[in-house]
Structure 1
Amino acid sequence: MKAVVEISMYPLTDDYIPPIDVFLEKIRTYPEVKVSTNPSSTRIIGEYDEVMSCVNESIKNSYEGGVKATFVMKVLNNPAEKTKWDD
């Protein structure tokens, strides 16, 4: 089953860009999912189990790295078509 997770990370620090960059670098290490970003969120598309594993491990990696952050996500079982924000 295909799925898409749209996720936004909100680091609880004034210097918020570096933790987001590390989070995105981790997500992009999973070749089995497609990743696209826009100014406010990231979409991860692929098979449900692979997408959820990618998200779970990437969030865990951030927390284990000492990052304090809030993550907000939507999970859909019908991946959206390409948008103008796809990279």
Structure 2
Amino acid sequence: MQLSVEISLYPLKDNYLEVIKWFIQRLDAYPGVQRLTNGMSTQLGGDYDTIMALLATEMKAAHAQWGKGVFVCKFIPGGVNLDHSE
């Protein structure tokens, strides 16, 4: 089963851009996961189990590395075309 996730990270730190860039860079380490980032969020697409495991690992790593931060996620089972634009 495919899954698409829109995720936004709001680090509770002054150097928030460093934290966000660090997180996005780590997402790119997962083969088979499609990533699209814009000024407001990052969208991920791929296998359901892969995406959920990735999020568990990387969200925990972000909290361990940087402390408090808020993640806001939207999940769409079945996935969507991340390349679509109008």
TM-score under structure 2 length normalisation: 0.89
Q: Deviations over 1:3-26 (max 9, x none)?
A: 011100001112210000110011
Gaps of at least 5 residues in structure 1 are none
- The residue number in structure 2 matching 1:39 is 39
Contact 1:19/1:67 (<8 A) preserved: no
- The one-letter amino acid paired with 2:57 is E
Query: What does 1:1-87 align with in structure 2 at a 5 Å threshold?
Result: 1-81=1-81, 82-84=83-85
Contact 1:23/1:58 (<8 A) preserved: yes
SS in structure 1 at match of 2:46:
strand
Percent identity, aligned pairs only, is: 33
How many residues in Structure 1 have an aligned counterpart in Structure 2? 84
Q: Deviations over 1:23-58 (max 9, x none)?
A: 001111001211111111111100100011111111
CA RMSD, Structure 1 to Structure 2 (Å): 1.2
SS in structure 2 at match of 1:8:
strand
Contact 2:19/2:66 (<8 A) preserved: no
Runs of 4 or more off by more than 4 Å in structure 1? none
